[in-house]
Amino acid sequence: MNEPNTAVSLAHRLSQFSELWTQKTIARLNDYEVKLAKLKGEFVWHKHEDTDELFLVISGRLTIQLRDGDVVLEPGELFVVPRGAEHCPVADEETAVLLLEPEGVLNTGDAGGPRTKPAETLD
């Protein structure tokens, strides 16, 4: 986490890890976590029954598959997946995203499985 009264450099934080599909907490806002992740390939279909999920693309391109159509995000664009909406993120190239979710939300939501990982805090 950052020192008090210090700006968070997203570029610096992204340079600190290379793992794909692993969320890294970089700040907290009330009961929310601000997280970074690097994505490539297709994730798993899942949903979060109790919370919305914000995706902001920093670099690359992200497609969020929804059961009623896809949302394609370019750098600088964001999308909020509504609570309860089944979705599957897909990145054809390595893509960096910022996520905003309540503390403790698991990346795979209701799906579980081997890709489930709690967010790790970047120091």
Tens of pLDDT along 72-113?
Answer: 999 999 999 999 999 999 999 999 999 999 999 988 888 888
How many C-beta atoms surround the C-beta of residue 62 within 10 A?
A: 24
pLDDT band at 2 (very low <50, low <70, confident <90, very high): low
Distances (CA, A) of 87 to 53, 56, 64, 118: 10, 15, 6, 19
Q: Which residues contact 7 (CB under 8 A, 6 or more apart)?
A: none
Residue 14 has pLDDT above 70, yes or no: yes
b/e per residue 75-100 (b: at least 16 CB within 10 A)? eeeebebeeeebbbbbbeeebbbbbb
Q: Which residues contact 106 (CB under 8 A, 6 or more apart)?
A: 116, 117, 118
Can you list the domains of the chain with their CATH numbers? 10-104 (2.60.120.10)
Calculate the dihedral angle through the C-alpha atoms of 110, 43, 97, 82, rounding to the nearest 10 degrees. Answer: -40
Q: Does this model's pTM top 0.75?
A: yes
pLDDT band at 1 (very low <50, low <70, confident <90, very high): low
Residue 65 has pLDDT above 90, yes or no: yes
The strand pairing partners of 99, in sequence order, are: 35, 55
